Amino acid sequence: MVKRITAIAFIFVCASVAWAILGGTIFSRTYDSSNRSSGEVESLWGTPQNQTPPKASFIQVNARNEESLENGKKIVRKVEDKFEVPLPLDSSRVAVALDLAHRQKGLLWYSTYKVNYGGLYSFHNTSDKEQLVTFTLGFPASQAIYDDLVFNIDDVPITITNGKNSASGVTKLAAGKTATLKVGYHSQGLNEWRYSFGSTEVAQVRDFALNMKTNFKDIDFPDNTISPTEKHETTNGWDLNWSYKNLLSGYQIAMVMPEKLQPGPLAGKISLFAPVSLFFFFFLMFIITTMRGIELHPMNYFFLATAFFAFHLLLAYLVDHVSIHAAFAISSVVSVFLVVSYLRLVIGIQFASREAAVAQFVYLVLFSYAFFLKGFTGLAITIGSVTTLFVVMQVTGRIRWAEKFAVKAAEPTTQLS
């Protein structure tokens, strides 16, 4: 009995090493390809976006006389000092629609989205005379496309001048008058969308309202951002509003796109956890066969371990081609079929299709599926482990293990005369 347990333990250790190698291979494939894929996705789809409000300013010229000595003579020259005067932003009305559409590259899903952005911004001329005002809209990302660009001042389209990651237009604005800048575009980005108030420090925002519509319900606001003042759930997402009369804040408005279940990391975690599943299965098989007096050779345990390993090997390479749920279902069916069809020959169909199949379903399939339950994986596995311990303790409580582990004496041989 001791030799048999030692052989089974050796098989378990070898299988654990194989799973460690497989798990490392999966993570290597995932993150090596991630370094290449992320750049490809950004070049094709865009990067995270951070929109800032537009700016308006005019150039003020101050003339002064500057005196100097040349050849002993006093020379007076007229010098003009030019500096930029910003116009205050009186009000902001912003509308954003985020349309999430995940895309897969290799073993990872990327949270790509389309964004429709529009805004109405009011500026007023604080000077006492007419000024030639330049309105500038900074784009939220340099690696992106901007389609159907709108740039109107008081509902009049303005000729646009392209700058460094920005668009600007010029118009005259009378003294004390207010101009409304209307901007908008269609674009696309990755992972998150942000709206900052134009300053990395504390900024003052007056008469501000932002409406955001999403086509996803799993909304998430990152740390150090402002939660909406009002939100309403819609049929396929949320209608979110931020509204302030006079806000002082150094925070931003932001939305993180929900992530899809990542097939690569999930398959890697399931593979690294596999020795726990195999341990419980071997443990239960050993207890049942010992109680019933069934002889199960260590080689039989070896083939059972390979059937378990087939599940994770198949899962690791199926997730490249089909969804993680389909890959999991196919791998489960194949592995259970291998175990049942094998034990049918070794012990019998009744044991194979009942005790063995149920044990494999619980400790391989259900324990592995617990990794799909984000936040509840550890709890689910703990409940299953404790339940198993309770059942085995109750069933084996009256077994005399000393008798089970006793070395059987050799039967005497009868010699014929």
Question: pLDDT tens across 349-372, in order?
Answer: 999 999 899 999 999 999 999 988
- Phi then psi dihedrals of residue 27, to 5 deg: -65, -35
**pLDDT band for position 40 (cuts 50, 70, 90):** low
Residue 66 lies in a domain: no
Do 381 and 272 fall within a single domain? yes
> Distance (Å, rounded) from C-alpha 190 to C-alpha 93?
24
> Distance (Å, rounded) from C-alpha 23 to C-alpha 21?
5
Domain end residue (candidates: 256, 287, 317):
256
Q: What is the pLDDT of residue 259?
A: 86
Closest CA to 226 of 245, 244, 239: 244
Residue 379 lies in a domain: yes
What is the model's pTM? 0.72
Residue 70 lies in a domain: no
> Distance (Å, rounded) from C-alpha 116 to C-alpha 104?
23
- Phi then psi dihedrals of residue 377, to 5 deg: -60, -55
Do 222 and 188 fall within a single domain? yes
User: Range of 311's domain?
Assistant: 2-36+261-400
Question: pLDDT tens across 233-242, in order?
Answer: 999 999 999 9
Do 355 and 381 fall within a single domain? yes
Residue 68 lies in a domain: no
Do 203 and 269 fall within a single domain? no
Q: What is the pLDDT of residue 10?
A: 92
Domain end residue (candidates: 256, 273, 292):
256
Do 90 and 231 fall within a single domain? yes
Q: Which of 129-138, 294-303, 362-371, 405-414 has the lowest mean pLDDT?
A: 405-414
Q: What is the dihedral of CA 15, 21, 27, 30, to 10 degrees?
A: -100
Average pLDDT for residues 101-130, to the nearest whole number?
88
Residue 297 lies in a domain: yes
Do 181 and 99 fall within a single domain? yes
Question: pLDDT tens across 404-414, in order?
Answer: 666 554 445 55
Average pLDDT for residues 14-29, to the nearest whole number?
89
Domain end residue (candidates: 232, 256, 280):
256
Residue 405 lies in a domain: no
Domain of 164: which CATH number? Answer: 2.60.40.3680
Q: What is the pLDDT of residue 409?
A: 46
* Number of domains observed in the structure of the chain: 2
Do 144 and 92 fall within a single domain? yes
Identify each DSSP E strand in 88-202 by its residue range.
Answer: 89-100, 103-105, 108-110, 112-124, 131-138, 147-153, 156-157, 161-163, 166-173, 178-190, 192-195
Residue 407 lies in a domain: no
